[in-house]
């Protein structure tokens, strides 16, 4: 399938694997890129820029296809060494960067100078337009369904994507709630040029996370995510567990007086415990509503091939068929 996104990134299928803390390692990114999508390493999972440089080299040894690096700019008590990470990306010869969180404007000149395409992930039309204005090459439009940070507007993709299509000139992909061929066709119908998936890729064989995480996604339904940190205006969609319910109880109890310190035990340092040790009650970790559509743990290639096959069947079979039968039923004049 050819879209403005496959052309921009030099990939075969319009399917991107979004940056994921402690999931976006070389094993997963290379598997996605080898299967014809765009795999993305997550910079901040690497403790230092030197470690990111090593991870980029490891990924390059696993694939000769394009892959990207995610740079997330979120509120932090001690900001990471962003200049160092940007240098590691540029010197590592990576040609695609997914930015997320705060405005990436500061970093665009250096990235563009190095011939890097930047796709900014954002959760509102106004932020997408801002990304276009400052020179991003594409945007990933992340609806309210998404895992991680959906922003504070709560607009689901059935409205957000066509609104983005009305306003944007640069290409965009649909993110949040994407799982299968139905999602891809729907996203294309709403004006997107492809899809970005997070949660669905966690439940794949190659995702380098504890088996219990994959089993948790299989067991979860669309009713099992929660929005945490809303009072701090840093809302995150996570899978519910004992720690998450305790966190929500604190939010209810402390109301607007809550601070990050109050909930640090439930949100700080959680990812290595969950993703590597399989401590499923350790705290809050991102998970999308799409958990309700995940029923298996295929290889990345099997998943991507299935999505493309399903999309073709839907378009050629079901949708074209509807038009054909419509012609057959047209009233005679």
Q: Which residues of the chain form contacts with ligand FMN (CB under 6 A)?
A: 18-21, 23, 42, 70, 72, 100, 121, 142, 145-148, 175-178, 196-200, 202, 285-288, 290
Q: How far is the CB of 50 from ligand FMN (least distance, A)?
A: 20
236 touches 270 (CB < 8 A):
no
Q: How far is the CB of 162 from ligand FMN (least distance, A)?
A: 18
311 touches 1 (CB < 8 A):
yes
The nearer residue to ligand FMN, 154 or 327, going by C-beta atoms, is 154
Decide: helix, strand or coil at residue 331.
coil
Q: How far is the CB of 151 from ligand FMN (least distance, A)?
A: 11
Distance in angstroms (rounded) separating the CA atoms of residues 27 and 59: 7
Tokens of 186: 């729907």
284 touches 238 (CB < 8 A):
yes
The nearer residue to ligand FMN, 36 or 176, going by C-beta atoms, is 176
The nearer residue to ligand FMN, 188 or 287, going by C-beta atoms, is 287
Q: How far is the CB of 44 from ligand FMN (least distance, A)?
A: 6
The nearer residue to ligand FMN, 128 or 290, going by C-beta atoms, is 290
The nearer residue to ligand FMN, 98 or 132, going by C-beta atoms, is 98
Q: How far is the CB of 293 from ligand FMN (least distance, A)?
A: 9
Q: Check residue 332 and give left, alpha or beta (phi > 0: left; psi -120 to 50: alpha).
A: beta
Distance in angstroms (rounded) separating the CA atoms of residues 294 and 155: 23
Q: How far is the CB of 69 from ligand FMN (least distance, A)?
A: 11
Q: How far is the CB of 332 from ligand FMN (least distance, A)?
A: 47
Nearest to 148 by CA among 298, 42, 62: 42
Q: How far is the CB of 68 from ligand FMN (least distance, A)?
A: 11
Q: Which residue is nearest to ligand FMN (CB)?
A: 198
The nearer residue to ligand FMN, 222 or 255, going by C-beta atoms, is 222
Quickly list DSSP for 124-174: SHHHHHHHHHHT-SEEEEE-TT-SB---SS---HHHHHHHHHHH-SS-EEE
Q: How far is the CB of 142 from ligand FMN (least distance, A)?
A: 5
Distance in angstroms (rounded) separating the CA atoms of residues 85 and 26: 16
Distance in angstroms (rounded) separating the CA atoms of residues 273 and 293: 25
The nearer residue to ligand FMN, 92 or 198, going by C-beta atoms, is 198
Taking CA atoms, 279 is separated from 24, 153, 206, 313, in Å, by 19, 32, 20, 40
The nearer residue to ligand FMN, 221 or 253, going by C-beta atoms, is 221
The nearer residue to ligand FMN, 6 or 99, going by C-beta atoms, is 99
Question: Any residues with CB less than 8 A from the CB of 325 and at least 6 apart, and which?
Answer: none
Tokens of 145: 């369904």
Distance in angstroms (rounded) separating the CA atoms of residues 26 and 13: 19
């Amino acid at each position: 399938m050819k879209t403005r996104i496959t052309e921009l990134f030099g990939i075969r299928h319009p399917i991107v694997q979004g940056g994921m803390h402690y999931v976006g390692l070389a094993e997963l990114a290379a598997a996605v890129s080898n299967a014809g999508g765009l795999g993305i390493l997550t910079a901040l999972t690497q403790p230092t820029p030197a470690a990111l440089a090593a991870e980029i080299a490891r990924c390059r040894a696993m694939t000769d296809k394009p892959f990207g690096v995610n740079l997330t700019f979120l509120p932090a008590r001690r900001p990471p060494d962003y200049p160092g990470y940007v240098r590691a990306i540029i010197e590592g010869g990576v040609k695609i960067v997914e930015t997320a969180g705060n405005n990436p404007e500061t970093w665009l000149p250096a990235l563009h100078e190095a011939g890097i395409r930047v796709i900014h992930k954002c959760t509102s039309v106004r932020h997408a337009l801002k990304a276009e204005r400052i020179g991003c090459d594409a945007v990933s439009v992340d609806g309210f369904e998404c895992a991680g940070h959906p922003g504070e507007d709560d607009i689901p993709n059935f409205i957000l994507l066509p609104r983005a299509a009305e306003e944007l000139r640069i290409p965009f992909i649909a993110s949040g709630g994407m799982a299968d061929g139905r999602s891809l066709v729907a996203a294309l119908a709403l004006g997107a040029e492809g899809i970005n998936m997070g949660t669905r890729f966690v439940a794949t064989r190659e995702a380098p996370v504890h088996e219990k995480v994959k089993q948790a996604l299989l067991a979860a339904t669309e009713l099992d995510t929660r929005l945490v940190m809303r009072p701090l205006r840093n809302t995150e969609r996570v899978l519910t567990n004992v720690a998450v319910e305790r966190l929500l109880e604190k939010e209810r109890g402390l109301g607007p007086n809550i601070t990050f310190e109050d909930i640090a035990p439930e949100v700080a340092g959680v990812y290595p415990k969950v993703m590597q040790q399989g401590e499923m009650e350790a705290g809050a970790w991102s998970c999308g509503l799409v958990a309700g559509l995940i029923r298996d743990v295929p290889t990345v290639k099997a998943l991507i091939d299935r999505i493309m096959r399903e999309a073709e069947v839907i378009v050629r079979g079901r949708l074209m068929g509807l038009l054909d039968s419509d012609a057959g039923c047209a009233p005679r004049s």
